[in-house]
Structure 1
Amino acid sequence: MIKRWLLMATFVGTLFSAGCSVFGYRGSTETPNFDIVDQVGDAVIRRYPTRLAADTVVDTDDVEQAREKGFKRLAGYIFGDNTPRIKIAMTAPVAQSTHKIEMTAPVSQARMETGWRIRFFLPSRFNQANAPQPTDNRVVLQSLPPETYAVLQFSHSRSESAVHRHITLLEHTLSGSRWQPSGPAVAWFYDPPWTLPFLRRNEVAIPVHETPDTSAQ
């Protein structure tokens, strides 16, 4: 009887969480800490401290298929495909490179391949010393240095065309400002695919550096 009640409670809890995610409610889902240091039009300049991420690279021409395959790989890691086989709390966002990247093939092979990097940020309590180690060699832990990003938030579609449209808008917003791009753009997705489109939190982000203000000269 108790076992049946526990199973029912778990089932109801799962349905509740799924129902909340439909409406864009993320509950206690952890997101990376950052400081807002400036705003340029609709873009926000955020400074992120050191973070630990689990990365995987998916070699396919379809950007949305890469997102799906990469997420499944990372989901395996956080749900126990690791040493010592523990479950890691889900965080947001899931990050995806917006252009194919070059990567060194595994082990000692020297040939170069291309792929889409999909990234999951680990909860802040983890670092390189205490983080569970992936058992899938396609998943790699990366310690990210402090970074400053220009970020533009949007909702609805997160298709490749929608992402690139907002990157173009972000680049236009930064043009002529004291914040200039210092690396390739990335897309961040905070909600599962079944979230109502107008409630989705999507972001495009570009690493930036601050240039001297010459307007007074």
Structure 2
Amino acid sequence: MTSRHILPRLLLLFTLTLTGATAMATEEPVHTVSLKEEAFEVRDYPALIAAEVTVGGERSEAVSAGFRLLAGYIFGGNVRKQSIAMTAPVVQAKSGGESIAMTAPVTQVAAGSGWVIRFMMPAGYTLDTLPTPNDPKVHLVTLPPTRFAVVRFSGLAGEDSITEKTAELTAFITSHQLHAIGTASLARYDPPWTPWFMRRNEVMVPLAVATAP
């Protein structure tokens, strides 16, 4: 699907969000919470499937470029022309193929000199049942079960906020004698046209899972 087809959909969703005519309800990956303190949580996620791209540039430029590439895939840029509903309720309808509901969050992690941008795929799909992307930049991958320490915050997720929240999450991990096994990633739960004061963001750090002696 070309940008000519995607743009009207984005403009419609933007208008509906501002007028309150609909709520942006998206499926989120199932997880369990083993520890919760105010804005902090420790979560366990099962294996997940994600669509991802690797892009260069500054963080804000990279997430915008990655979002456009992944939006192309979920808006029908695949071999079966399957589209993904982003409104509430999620409507599944036949239109040249079955529809797929998009999940939150969109995650962004550093990848050498670039960034990996991911959309988590809905539950119930496998690598075999998801449509193949038309764009070779988009890859479907399986993510292993992972435990994360997470801190939630709102706003535009600028570099100062990300640095501050990463430091707070690091202190939380240390104070609870947890062991980080990777670098922090940024999860954005709302599309880029969401007003800044309504946005939900999270910094997530993977943790080692303690084993019984």
Equivalent residues in 2 for 1:118-137, closer than 5 Å: 118-137=117-136
Q: Structure 1's 19 and 125: CA in aligned 2 closer, same or farther, altered over 3 A?
A: farther
Distance 2:20 2:133 in 1: 27
Distance 1:209 1:67 in 2: 28
| Aligned residue type for 1:72 | R
Distance 2:20 2:148 in 1: 26
Residues 75-134 of structure 1, C-alpha deviations (whole Å, 9 max, x = no match): 00111111111113222111101x3x13xxxxxxxxxxx311100011112111101111
Aligned partners of 1:148 and 1:207 also within 8 Å = yes
- Is 1:45 the counterpart of 2:17? The answer is no
Distance 1:170 1:22 in 2: 36
Distance 1:197 1:15 in 2: 13
| Aligned residue type for 2:108 | Q
| Aligned residue type for 1:203 | E
Aligned partners of 2:181 and 2:207 also within 8 Å = yes
Q: CA deviation at 1:49?
A: 0.7
What is aligned with 2:72?
76
Distance 2:193 2:76 in 1: 24
Candidates 84, 87, 92, aligned match of 2:83: 87
Aligned partners of 2:14 and 2:194 also within 8 Å = no
Q: Structure 1's 70 and 87: CA in aligned 2 closer, same or farther, altered over 3 A?
A: same
| Aligned residue type for 2:199 | R
Q: Select the structure of larger CA radius of gyration.
A: 1
Q: Number of matched residues?
A: 186
Aligned partners of 1:64 and 1:160 also within 8 Å = no
Gaps of 5+ in 1: 1-9, 103-113, 213-217
Q: Structure 1's 72 and 16: CA in aligned 2 closer, same or farther, altered over 3 A?
A: closer
Q: Secondary structure at the match of 1:175?
A: helix
Gaps of 5+ in 2: 1-8, 85-100
Aligned residues with identical type, % of pairs: 34
Q: Secondary structure at the match of 2:70?
A: helix
TM-score (norm 1): 0.77
Aligned partners of 1:22 and 1:196 also within 8 Å = no
Distance 1:196 1:91 in 2: 19
Q: CA RMSD in A?
A: 2.5
Q: Structure 1's 175 and 21: CA in aligned 2 closer, same or farther, altered over 3 A?
A: farther
| Aligned residue type for 1:161 | D
Distance 1:21 1:178 in 2: 44
| Aligned residue type for 2:72 | G
Distance 1:35 1:174 in 2: 18
- Is 1:193 the counterpart of 2:211? The answer is no
TM-score (norm 2): 0.79
Q: Structure 1's 171 and 20: CA in aligned 2 closer, same or farther, altered over 3 A?
A: farther
Distance 1:20 1:171 in 2: 39
Q: CA deviation at 1:15?
A: 6.6
Distance 1:168 1:21 in 2: 35
